[in-house]
């Protein structure tokens, strides 16, 4: 019987792109999202040392938090799971846009979970308004919101860019530049970037109705 890793590696590259996404966190854990039809499975895969081929996992947590606006922060799940980091940045609200990542302090912070798959063909734009509403809620309540996904590289930056375009009136290039300056690791997948480029006109048309 093939292991899950072998099964995934046996997929063609095209099928792999459509069937699953893998994220290796900085602590060395590998999260695999796979789906067939409407069924999505999230598993955590142990990576045996002999399979690492010289790769040494960085066991330090990624606690770098990007300050996009005084009320809007961007980071990884590590930052969202580190109480000291959250208190240091005076976080009150947490927007979790990962898939299968738990909210670990439900009694201490106001959470919203919007599960987004980090895939180029994921339709990102329908999620943006829901995320914007939560960010605006935090702002109205004089709070500070941390937006995070798993690695804080693709989904969370994409959502923040969408917010800046939709609710802050910025152009795509301005929003992308601000996010990259706040968190240099930010790199939304190509599909998300393409959708966000076209989002400005869509957002403006929507605001006229």
Would you tell me how many other CB atoms lie within 10 Å of the CB of residue 105?
13
Domain residues of the chain, as ranges? 4-51, 66-207
The three-point CA angle 93-100-149 to 5° equals 50
User: Which are the contacts of 93, defined by CB distance < 8 A and separation ≥ 6?
Assistant: 109, 110, 111, 112, 134, 135, 137, 138, 141, 143, 144, 145, 146
Structure confidence at residue 95 (pLDDT): 98
Residues classed as catalytic: 149
C-beta separation of 164 from 170 below 8 A: yes
Question: What are 125's strand-pairing partners?
Answer: none
Question: What are 94's strand-pairing partners?
Answer: 111, 146
Structure confidence at residue 12 (pLDDT): 41
Q: Which residue has 């770098």 as its token pair?
A: 64
Q: What is the pLDDT along the chain (209 residues), one digit of tens a residue?
A: 555 555 545 544 434 344 445 555 444 555 555 555 545 555 555 555 444 444 444 456 788 999 999 999 999 999 999 999 999 999 999 999 998 899 999 999 999 999 999 999 999 999 999 999 999 999 999 999 999 999 999 999 999 999 999 999 999 999 999 999 999 999 999 999 999 999 865 555 444 33
Q: Which residue has 């439900």 as its token pair?
A: 106
Query: CA-CA distance, 113 to 174, in Å (whole number)?
Result: 26
Structure confidence at residue 13 (pLDDT): 40
- Top CATH class, 66-207: alpha beta
Query: CA-CA distance, 178 to 66, in Å (whole number)?
Result: 10
Structure confidence at residue 97 (pLDDT): 97
Helix spans in 11-154 (H) = 13-19, 77-80, 83-88, 125-140
Structure confidence at residue 113 (pLDDT): 96
């Amino acid at each position: 019987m093939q292991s899950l890793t072998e099964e995934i590696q046996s997929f063609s590259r095209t099928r792999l792109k459509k069937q699953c996404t893998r994220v290796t966190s900085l602590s060395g854990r590998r999260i695999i999202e796979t789906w067939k039809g409407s069924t999505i499975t999230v598993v955590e895969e142990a990576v045996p040392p002999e399979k690492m081929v010289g790769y040494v996992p960085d066991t330090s947590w990624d606690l770098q938090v990007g300050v996009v606006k005084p009320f809007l922060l961007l980071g990884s799940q590590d930052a969202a799971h580190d109480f000291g980091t959250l208190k240091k940045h005076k976080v009150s609200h947490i927007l979790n846009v990962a898939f299968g990542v738990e909210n670990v302090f439900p009694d201490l912070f106001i959470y919203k979970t919007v599960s987004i798959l980090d895939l180029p063909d994921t339709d990102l734009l329908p999620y943006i308004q829901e995320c914007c509403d939560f960010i605006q809620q935090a702002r109205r309540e004089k709070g500070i919101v941390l937006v995070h996904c798993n690695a804080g590289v693709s989904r969370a930056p994409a959502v923040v860019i969408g917010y800046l375009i939709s609710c802050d009136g910025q152009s795509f290039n301005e929003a992308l530049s601000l996010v990259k300056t706040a968190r240099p690791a930010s790199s939304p997948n190509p599909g998300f970037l393409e959708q966000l480029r076209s989002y400005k006109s869509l957002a403006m048309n929507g605001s006229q109705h």
